[in-house]
Structure 1
Amino acid sequence: MSTDVQRNVQNGKNHRMSKDETEVKRFLEPFRLSQKTLQDISSRLTQDMIKGLGRHSHHKAPVKMLPTFVRATPDGTEKGDFLALDLGGTNFRVLHVRVNEDEKSVLKMDSEICAIPQEIMTGTGEQLFDHIAACLGTFLEKQGLKEQVLPLGFTFSFPCEQKEIDKSILIRWTKGFNCSGVEGRDVVQLLKEAVRRQGDYEIGTVAMVNDTVGTMMSCGYRDQSCEIGMIIGTGTNACYMEEMCNVKRVEGEGGRMCINTEWGGFGDDGSLRDIQTQFDLEVDRSSINPGVHIFEKMISGMYLGEIVRLLLVKMTEDKILFSGKVSEKLRTSGAFLTKFISEIEQEGSGEENTKRILSDLGLQWSTADLRAVHLICDTVSSRSAQLCAAALAAVANRICTNRGLDHLDTTVGVDGTVFKKHPTFSAELRSMVHKLAPKCTLKFIVSEDGSGKGAAMVTAVAQRIAAQSHLIDDSDEDELEEN
């Protein structure tokens, strides 16, 4: 509970709770989850993770547990210059990243944002990748790198089935893209073909990178114990290092592989129905993808503001808030932004922020309304942090169990505006994870540019492993010759 709410509760001891305040608490009761319930939710996710890893059960699993073919985290010896491409919207970024072994640093030397015109977003795949290759060539020219053959990390934020670290099949376009001739094909191959058509430069090895994996890897160079990546922003997801013997969909028994859990889909099979409120159900019904990414819709930044808005509308219609008068703005879907929750819960300036936000929404408020709105925001954001903690505890407990440890010490690389911007989210998350995963001590590091620096680190680690494997192969050949 935030300081402002505690102060209001303390002040509330001086007067009998009004009927309206009792009603507010009644409305919010379904959002308050006991530690026992959260422990149960964590166990449900663990079972779904096992299902997602299975050779025969993964296709029906709501938590997809996608192999990333990233087989190790940084060990601190990586070094060199790398390129990164980040494609996931109407713009894409090209970056030059330098990894310094001596300073243990990952530096963004330079970057450039390139627009993708509408006609290319809906044209042919060849047009799209030719545009990317041309922009990459221009960037290399400006940086004086055209004569070098640099490895490249490729963050491609569309649904793909990854076959190898350098082979990824596009399942379907999203985000307004609809380029013909790409779905069902390997996007790495399409990029390489476009670079060859460009004809005046070459690229080295290419590694495909999920943004969650990039988050883990960008933190992993600073802290080699980082084995979990988590994003809690507009959307939510996590990845972690799983034992290869448990990854039934990929050949090989030894070592570990990073698994992209896609935990936003937790609950898509109805397993969270018992904790979904009427407001969660309405958010899902009115979304562009009903029935999909249920867990994400309960905890992430794209939806938290809308949950609060629906609560405010219903309570006002029931004449609990704002003298029963709902403004047209408040009735407008998306009018209550998630950032308003952070502003309202901000210690010191929260009350003034609340007055401003409610006035901008065309609402006539009383002091009791201000208290109620603060409590509503605090309750919705607390549930988000606690559910996120339950999911993270499932991941940490799994790593601990996999390795047969009495105690696990590991680091979580984190990105996302909800974690970084909300005043109490990270503290509440840490507190609940500690309760739900008592055998695990988790350290948190905020990621710096996971889709850029992280993509470069994935490529650097892949190169290191390939080089080590080559050395082992050479030594085996030498041994055979001696014998």
Structure 2
Amino acid sequence: MKLSLTELQDIRRTLAARIVFGLSTPGTEIAALPAYLAPPPEGMTGRAVVVDAGGTNLRAAIVELQPGGVSRIVAGPAPAKFPGGPEVAGDAFFDVQAELVERLGAVQGLPVGYCFSYPSETLPSLDARLLRWTKGVQVAGVEGTCVGERLGRALAARKLRPGPVRVLNDTVASLLGGAFAHGGASPAAFIGLIVGTGTNMATFLPAGRIPKLKTGHFVAPMAVNLENGNFNPPHLQPFDADVDASSENPGAQRFEKAVSGAYLPRLFARLCPDHAPLTSSADLVRLRDEGTGDARRVAGDLLQRSADLVAAALAAVADVLESPPGMGILAEGSLFWGDPRYAPRVQETLRGLLGARVEPRIARLEHVNLIGSACAALFA
């Protein structure tokens, strides 16, 4: 199961080539979706409503951006679960989010940053059309529709009158939030990374590096949502194929199914069918640290392979960025930070892949998704 450095380098090269292809060609394995958002300008300030929909958790807050990369949560975060479980109707899904905004108090006139953490095509208007559900979630009647417009309708149905709704995903939000907090650093050296229930990356690229871009007036670097969870990497194993075949979306999200917290317990069940079922990546971490025998070894190997695959993916993005000497990685996710060995393993493997020419720095910022969503809401 363990991947050699040679295999990881092969995964790195393959992903880098597919990212470049995705930047020029719509509808490819690596969607590389333009987010139509530039790095936050120096001095960005203001208040915004933010709604964060990821996994089966929902939350809303009012966020204030202040000079010098400082941010403050003014109200919230107000949390909620999906109503009645992950399989719900679309109208109920958006109404629960509108109810969260209502709980925040006075939101009239405040722009809305909507962090929507599923594969979506962002439009130049900063709405987004859902491409497909992932992470084991299915909400009927939402795929193919514009989620910002639907949230706006749900807010209006509750007589709320906020400003325009602007949509981004959690990875782009992490990227923007980190760039805001580190205001002065080169935005081209930032990567937003999510490793939790699902996995994804985003980065800033000059508009000229995105040949498929639909608008020619964008001159600043642009955030690109890579959607690399859909990458089909070389060197996967037969047990990966078995889990994929029995999943909700066979053939899709192969990288995510090898890496993320939603699928690691399924991989473990395939390898250790006689063991009691695990329900989360936290269960795997506990088993690795406190278990015994083959089950403990398999749990540790799955977690280590996940971290190594993430490192190879980050190295691929560094190649696309043409190896900046300093690379800031704004990381989020329950698996990435929930396992105390995970981030150090990613850092160690990434250094081995990149060598001395690039120094990666992995950072964590509290409420980074909320901060980044506020940045998106406040873009003029």
Q: Distance in 2 between matches of 1:172 and 1:306?
A: 21
Q: Distance in 2 between matches of 1:428 and 1:382?
A: 7
Cα deviation, residue 386, structure 1: 1.3
The residue correspondences of 1:113-262 to structure 2 (distance < 5 A) are: 113=79, 117=83, 125=91, 132-133=97-98, 136-140=101-105, 145-146=106-107, 148-171=108-131, 175-179=137-141, 183-196=143-156, 198-199=158-159, 201-224=160-183, 225=185, 227-250=190-213, 251-252=215-216, 254-262=219-227
Q: Quick check: 1:122–1:177 contact (8 Å CA) kept in 2?
A: yes
Letter in 1 for 2:220: G
1:53 maps to which residue? 23
Cα deviation, residue 131, structure 1: 6.1
State the secondary structure of the residue aligned to 1:301: coil
- In structure 2, relative to structure 1, the CA distance for the partners of 1:375 and 1:247 (3 Å cut) is same
Q: Quick check: 1:211–1:450 contact (8 Å CA) kept in 2?
A: no
Query: What is the TM-score with the length of structure 2 in the denominator?
Result: 0.86
The more displaced of 148-157 and 236-245 is 148-157
Cα-to-partner distance string for 1:90-137 (whole Å, 9 max, x where unaligned):
6632211111215x3222122223566559x85574x76566546534
Give yes or no for the alignment of 1:354 onto 2:319. no
Letter in 1 for 2:205: E
Structure 2 spans left out of the alignment, 5+ residues: none
**Larger CA Rg, structure 1 vs 2:** 1
Q: Distance in 2 between matches of 1:64 and 1:109?
A: 35
Aligned length: 370
- In structure 2, relative to structure 1, the CA distance for the partners of 1:383 and 1:197 (3 Å cut) is closer
Which of 83, 86, 91 lines up with 2:52 in the alignment? 86
Cα deviation, residue 236, structure 1: 0.8
- In structure 2, relative to structure 1, the CA distance for the partners of 1:122 and 1:280 (3 Å cut) is closer
- In structure 2, relative to structure 1, the CA distance for the partners of 1:94 and 1:393 (3 Å cut) is same
Cα deviation, residue 266, structure 1: 0.7
- In structure 2, relative to structure 1, the CA distance for the partners of 1:97 and 1:287 (3 Å cut) is same
Cα deviation, residue 75, structure 1: 4.4
- In structure 2, relative to structure 1, the CA distance for the partners of 1:81 and 1:223 (3 Å cut) is same
Q: Distance in 1 between matches of 2:337 and 2:220?
A: 33
Cα deviation, residue 298, structure 1: 1.3
Q: Quick check: 2:59–2:100 contact (8 Å CA) kept in 1?
A: no
Q: Quick check: 2:128–2:168 contact (8 Å CA) kept in 1?
A: no
Structure 1 spans left out of the alignment, 5+ residues: 1-30, 314-326, 356-368, 402-406, 467-483
Greater fraction helix: 1
Cα-to-partner distance string for 1:383-433 (whole Å, 9 max, x where unaligned):
2211111110010121125xxxxx521211001122112232211211111
Q: Quick check: 1:240–1:259 contact (8 Å CA) kept in 2?
A: yes
1:95 maps to which residue? 61
Greater fraction strand: 2
Q: Quick check: 1:154–1:207 contact (8 Å CA) kept in 2?
A: yes
Q: Distance in 2 between matches of 1:207 and 1:444?
A: 28
2:260 maps to which residue? 300
Query: What is the TM-score with the length of structure 1 in the denominator?
Result: 0.69
Q: Distance in 2 between matches of 1:258 and 1:164?
A: 12
Q: Quick check: 1:155–1:208 contact (8 Å CA) kept in 2?
A: yes
Which of 41, 60, 63 lines up with 2:30 in the alignment? 63
Give yes or no for the alignment of 1:454 onto 2:361. no
- In structure 2, relative to structure 1, the CA distance for the partners of 1:115 and 1:441 (3 Å cut) is closer
Q: Quick check: 1:213–1:229 contact (8 Å CA) kept in 2?
A: yes
1:286 maps to which residue? 246
Give yes or no for the alignment of 1:400 onto 2:317. no
- In structure 2, relative to structure 1, the CA distance for the partners of 1:231 and 1:255 (3 Å cut) is same
Cα deviation, residue 198, structure 1: 4.7
Q: Quick check: 1:397–1:440 contact (8 Å CA) kept in 2?
A: no
Cα-to-partner distance string for 1:166-211 (whole Å, 9 max, x where unaligned):
22223456734224xx554433334444545555x53223321101
Which of 3, 6, 14 lines up with 1:44 in the alignment? 14
